Amino acid sequence: MALAMIDETHDPARTSWVPGADAHADFPIQNLPLGVFSREGEDPRGGIAIGNNILDLAALALSGLLEGEAMAAASAAAAPALNAMLALGAGPRQALRRRVSALLATGAPEREQVEPLLVPMAEATMHLPAHVSDYTDFYVGIHHATNIGSLFRPDNPLLPNYKHVPIGYHGRASTIRPSSVPVIRPQGQTKAPDADAPSFGPVKRLDYELELGVWLAAGNDLGTPVPIARASDLVAGITLLNDWSARDVQAWEYQPLGPFLAKNFLTTVSPWIVTMEALAPFRRPQPSRPEGDPQPLPYLWDETDQREGALSLDLEVFLSSAAMREKGLAPMRLSHGPASAMYWTIAQMVAHHASNGCQMQTGDLLGSGTISGPEEGSQGSLMEITRAGKQPVDLPTGETRTFLEDGDELSLTGHFHAENAVSIGFGECRGVVAPARI
């Protein structure tokens, strides 16, 4: 498994001449995530986040400041989606990262040439970073799986297959949107436990799910599995992902085939891909499996992945009601926990997905499934926090919440931390709930 190595781009002593690119921002010079942006009247194109600005890759490709693989990557990123650039693989992506890092570093002699290529984020509209070829959502957060299972199967929270196989289901690529797109309350068919028959209307149990999204840079031929030792080579980077969920629809439709309309009305992602190269300082050993848990089958086991397949990442969720915003109150933190609560690694997700010969493609997006920690206050959904609506959350305005109401804003954040490394983040992943369109 060829994992990205730590190099000069991760140097904690390296600073940038770009305003806002300091060590306390999501986008210091050690991050340099990839995204797609546009300004009013202009076509979308690729960019790199630095501080409060975006480096325009289309303009950079025309600047004469690049050559070789870095030039190839920037030229491919001059499109409305990054698929062509991602498909070039890790080499060109890394070459562009190293060259951009040098151009943006304090003291760079090319500053005067690069400065006009920066676009303030305040003037930009963000788009999906890549055309989503296909979308699959996994279920690798074991504490979430246990919490949800305990609500419905207290004597048997985890089904027998959970610790043997990374569970997942196919989602809907057409409803994936970047941060800030409104969450229109879906309608659906539901049936209350005490009702004689189902009814149709706006859902009452609208929920969020705190997840990571995994962007694929490359795929495999139909019928050809991906060995786990090569699985990480297919991954371009990760993003935050919110799998909005209609719990009342889910309860009625879930059996016998699993998630459908309860899950496919909207999935929100943070618009920046934090690349595998940027993640090198934050790799950690995968937590040891509890004694008695089964050893994964050989196609799901790789020693390098076990040593470096987890990430030192803190995740948080914040809620702000319309009344809170009117009163100028800060968003309320609903949960906080580590991404190490994932039972399966990203490489195991990819390897299992392709193990039957399923064709993976550039631009495929994989969701991790809800990430919850073992402690109180680290749950990744309101379904868990409120015990399926039985224990409401108190807001600072005196309001309460069991599930999301119209006007609520839900925000996910994530920050990578490691000793002798500058922390990096994803940027925003948020959505405001709007009334159903009846």
Q: Kindly list the catalytic residues.
A: 144
CA distances from 8 to 89, 102, 243, 277, 308 (A): 20, 9, 36, 11, 20
Bridge partners of 400, per DSSP, are: 394
Cβ distance 28 to 49 under 8 Å? no
Rounded to the nearest 10°, the torsion over CA 271, 205, 434, 369 is 10
Task: Give me the amino acid identity at 391.
Answer: Q
- Give Cβ neighbours of residue 401 (< 8 Å, ≥ 6 apart): 319, 321, 382, 386, 392, 393, 395, 408
Q: What is the β-pairing status of strands 176-178 and 267-269? A: parallel
Cβ distance 170 to 164 under 8 Å? no
Residue 84 to residue 75: CA distance in whole angstroms: 9
Q: How many helices (H) and strands (E) does the chain have?
A: 12, 27
Query: Hey, how many other C-beta atoms are within 10 angstroms of the C-beta on 426?
Result: 30
3-state secondary structure of 187: strand
- Give Cβ neighbours of residue 146 (< 8 Å, ≥ 6 apart): 157, 158
3-state secondary structure of 431: strand
* Preceding omega of 182 cis (within 30 degrees of 0): no
